[in-house]
Structure 1
Amino acid sequence: MLQLKYLFNNEDLAEMILNNWHFDEESKEMFTYYRISSNAIYPYIDKGKAQILRFAPTAEKMKSNIVAELDFISYLLGKEYGVLESIPSKDGEKLVEVSTPWGEYYASAFKRVLGKQISNTDFSDEIVFSYGKALGRLHYLSSQYTPGNFKRWSYSDVLDWMEEVVKDNPDELAAKKEIKLLRSYFASLPKSSKNYGLIHYDFEYDNVFYDENTKSCYVIDFDDAMYHWYGMDIEQALDSLQDYTPIELFQQKKQSFLDGYLTEYEYSNDLETFLPAFRRFANLYGYVRILKSSEEKWDHEPEWLTNLRKRLTAALKEKATSFGQPI
């Protein structure tokens, strides 16, 4: 997530950035539906159609990662994969660098995808099967993908970044040990084009939409994409599935998901062995991102920010539960 100082709603900033794209005059009425987490997301209207504006401070993002993300999305669209589509700016650019009174920003715009978020469905076996199928297809296409001039960062780069964040913090000995443990563990895993490549990383139910008419899924938000084992995506998806499924139905839904996945791509028979380590990576990454985002504090913070800090503190404690334990 972004540093907390960037989570404040700023409609003037959004309008200033949006002026780089074509839009209908009533667009600002849509700004009340904004969302800010890893990026600021503001909906807008162009020729009567709802679109999405996405932006973040340049200090919070790597330009090479964003360009590589947009290139991968273009590749997926070319393969007729259900994915969000970039909207070029007035100058024909997919990524715009904007100078504003609030600093420098990277901005992109996207068309809305079909369907509704899977989190708003009934999680029928058919939908969960389609969800697994979409991930399997994504991994198949990733295994065939060759990046251009820019390449997304890898799990190893992420571990390096995490190490940099915590290195001077004497209170983070457990996190430092966890980084070392995971680095050693992943170095021992077999790696090939069949089991390792560019993954979505955040293939969870709020980022996947199901369309009843086409009976298929559409995927958004590749902002966290990285090179990792494909099992990392599977673990994230199954973890999300657990959040929405009664305990007594989880095994059934899990099997529906995996059956769908196998229609498009194979996974190793020992996948279950590796999933706990992938969960540890996700917990550690989430932990360090929260740590980084909440470093600064201010006097007289608004109530929503005070409440958010409480939730983040609880999340830090939960994610750190297994730090330092043998894998």
Structure 2
Amino acid sequence: MNQEALFRLAEEAIKLWDVEVESINLHLQSENTVYKVEALDGSTYALRIHRKDYHDLDELNSEHLWTKSLSNAGLLVPEAVVTKNGDTYASVSFLNSDDYRYVGLVKWIEGTILNDLILGLEDKGVSDLYESLGKVVAKFHKATIAWKEPKGFKRHSFDVDGFLGDQPFWGRFWEAQNATISEREKLALIRKNMIETMSEFSKNINSFGMIHADLHSQNVLIQGKSLSVIDFDDAGFGWYGFDLAVAIWDRLDFTATGCHFDIAYQSLKKGYLGERPDTGDILETIPIFLLMRTLMIIRWIEDRPEAGYEAFIPVLINAAFDQAKELKLLN
């Protein structure tokens, strides 16, 4: 969809909210399109046009039910703004078309992206930052444990089937077209062994519940000593260890932003244990979920050639083999 059509849709969509607009500017073009909306009264909002066929309306409304519960627990997350009709989302059609998108509005959160901040930090700063992040992730999980799932709540699940089943949420990485036949055979073996291992993981509420599922360093904002988390588009039911793995994955040395991994990893775990002391079993699952993240990114890139990351796939495949060997999931 071209930018002009999306901008026109954004202009039409914002009319459904009680906002007197001063300006609308493109902030982020990814799978969803985000516009920064500045109002005449000085308020600022993020207007998000959701990608087609990713979530239905029940799933989107459920996302905001969960983020509202996190906000009520004292966590800094996006706050939804309802339309003039009291709805969390609006269905808005493109000009002269039956094609439509779901659009939502949240209050803008100021802050520095963690990934931008960390590049200029020494070891002590990295340690402090990731210890704080570990505490925030633990508070997310504590809030989930205390939360009562409302009737009709609907989100996807990152269980064994959601990660590794016949139709996994992020695609069949073991069939990657950018891999050789030999590499695909190894990826299939890793998948088989991961299914066996992860099928033994506990799914009780202390280990498995609603998670953010995309806590990479572009989705964490720093404001002084406070950390906010944004972009709950992938949020669903999953193991808490996966949240921790995603939070640290882009510090691995084979990633584009890799740096400070050991310090960040130890500090993340320290912060998490400070809030949830008896969770060593969850921390022990982080390595296999680091591997899971590597594998899902392979297919994520391959399914989105427009992103321009395909040259990174061989690096990820080799990294996945190294991770699997370390976990004894591949000889």
2:234 is matched with which residue?
Answer: 224
- CA separation of 1:48 and 1:228: change in aligned 2, threshold 3 A: same
Equivalence map 1:125-136=2 (5 Å)? 125-136=127-138
Matched, 1:274 2:285: yes
Query: Structure 2 residue aligned with 1:94, among 68, 76, 88?
Result: 88
User: Structure 2 stretches of 5 or more lacking a match?
Assistant: none
Matched, 1:55 2:49: yes
Query: CA-to-partner distance for each residue in 1:75-115, whole Å, 9 max, x for gaps?
Result: 11122221110111122111222222372211111112243
- The structure 1 segments of at least 4 consecutive aligned residues displaced by more than 6 Å after TM superposition are 6-9
Query: Structure 2 residue aligned with 1:185, among 191, 197, 215?
Result: 197
d(CA) in 2 for partners of 1:271 and 1:59?
Answer: 33
Query: CA-to-partner distance for each residue in 1:246-280, whole Å, 9 max, x for gaps?
Result: 44xx4333333222222222363355542232122
Matched, 1:316 2:313: yes
Query: Structure 1 residue aligned with 2:61, among 49, 57, 67?
Result: 67
Moved more, 250-259 or 78-87: 250-259
Query: Structure 2 residue aligned with 1:264, among 251, 266, 275?
Result: 275
1:111 is matched with which residue?
Answer: 107
The answer as to whether partners of 1:152 and 1:225 remain within 8 angstroms in 2 is: yes
The answer as to whether partners of 1:24 and 1:48 remain within 8 angstroms in 2 is: no
CA RMSD between the two structures: 3.1
Query: CA-to-partner distance for each residue in 1:154-196, whole Å, 9 max, x for gaps?
Result: 11335443389559x7958556555444333321223321111
1:26 is matched with which residue?
Answer: 22
The answer as to whether partners of 2:252 and 2:258 remain within 8 angstroms in 1 is: yes
Matched, 1:162 2:168: yes
In structure 2, what residue type is equivalent to 1:238?
Answer: I
- CA separation of 1:170 and 1:45: change in aligned 2, threshold 3 A: closer
Cα deviation, residue 128, structure 1: 2.6
The count of residues paired between Structure 1 and Structure 2 equals: 302
1:297 is matched with which residue?
Answer: none
| Structure possessing the higher relative contact order (Cα contacts under 8 Å, 6 or more residues apart) | 1
In structure 1, what residue type is equivalent to 2:153?
Answer: F
TM-score with structure 2 setting the length: 0.78
Identity %: 23
The answer as to whether partners of 2:170 and 2:299 remain within 8 angstroms in 1 is: no
d(CA) in 2 for partners of 1:120 and 1:126?
Answer: 16
User: Structure 1 stretches of 5 or more lacking a match?
Assistant: 295-304
